[in-house]
Amino acid sequence: MTATTLAAAAAERAQHIRQRADRPSQRRSAEQPGARAAVRATLSGVQVRESGDAGATLEFRGHASVYEQAYEMWDMFGPYTEIVSEGAGSDSLARANLDVPLVLGHDQLRRLARTTTGTLFLTEDANGLFVHAPALDPADHDVAYIAPKLKAGLIDEMSFAFRIEAGQWSPDYTEYRINRYDIHRGDVAIVGYGANPYTAGASVRQPAAAPAATRARALLELGIAGV
């Protein structure tokens, strides 16, 4: 986005938003009206660990969002930057009845794992929203479809669908910070291109001597683990 466009959008926003705590209206991740509003993070470090065990399962690890990193979003007035605060999902993730599936492309019929079945675990770590599915079934059609694409680096991004519960605009209305979100009955998704520009592409195997990931990098591991 250009500085002029960002400033013009902020000026319009300042004239029409009553309180800085108001949520973005018509929030989306692209300029086109109707674009999805999900936050996305590029993943890195895809790894495949061979196992000779019969009936092995696939272990999936990734980050559906990177916290404390600004990315571009749009509302009814134009572009702005958005940040998810560290710990923003803690209340939602603590729900005893948390129901969140791991899906392909935000398609609710293409579920790979689910928190309610004990096949998906969501936590917050130093990078952001961490996704762990320890035992995906390689015989599942969608798992078999996505696994080789992850291994080859053809797909290396994630996203999550959620509801904003609390946040605030910066004084100049160019930035919105999400302080609390609710992911219950939302999803974490493996997706194609995303909006978060702060991470690098994936590799099939990360060398043992590679430096540790920074907060601006999200990690996805596709590992083969014994049953």
Residues in CB range of 58: below 8 A, 6 or more apart: 135, 136, 137, 138, 143, 147, 222, 223, 224, 225
Q: In the predicted model, is pLDDT for residue 198 greater than 90?
A: no
What is the pLDDT at residue 54?
52
3 state DSSP class of 136? strand
172 versus 3: the higher-pLDDT residue is 172
Average of per-residue pLDDT values in the chain: 81
Q: In the predicted model, is pLDDT for residue 126 greater than 50?
A: yes
d(CA 123, CA 130): 5
Using CA atoms, how far residue 216 sits from 10, 145, 154, 170, 223, in Å, is 26, 28, 20, 22, 23
Quote the percentage of the chain above a pLDDT of 70: 77
Assign residue 191 a region: left if phi > 0, alpha if psi is -120 to 50, beta otherwise? beta
The two tokens of residue 204 are 């099939």
Backbone φ, ψ for residue 66 (5° rounding): -105, 120
The model's confidence at residue 215, banded by pLDDT at 50, 70 and 90, is: very low
What is the pLDDT at residue 193?
62
User: pLDDT digits over 131-169, tens only?
Assistant: 999 999 999 999 999 999 988 888 888 889 999 999 999
CA atoms within 13 A on the CB side of 118: 0
d(CA 113, CA 200): 26
User: pLDDT digits over 62-89, tens only?
Assistant: 889 999 999 999 999 999 999 999 999 9
The model's confidence at residue 51, banded by pLDDT at 50, 70 and 90, is: very low
Distance of CA 131 to the CA centre of its chain: 9
User: pLDDT digits over 24-40, tens only?
Assistant: 999 988 888 877 786 76
Helix or strand run (H / E) with residue 63: strand 57-66
Most confident of 56-60, 69-73, 110-114: 110-114
Using CA atoms, how far residue 131 sits from 32, 77, 144, 220, 222, in Å, is 29, 33, 19, 9, 12
Backbone φ, ψ for residue 92 (5° rounding): -65, -45
d(CA 105, CA 188): 9
What is the pLDDT at residue 55?
57
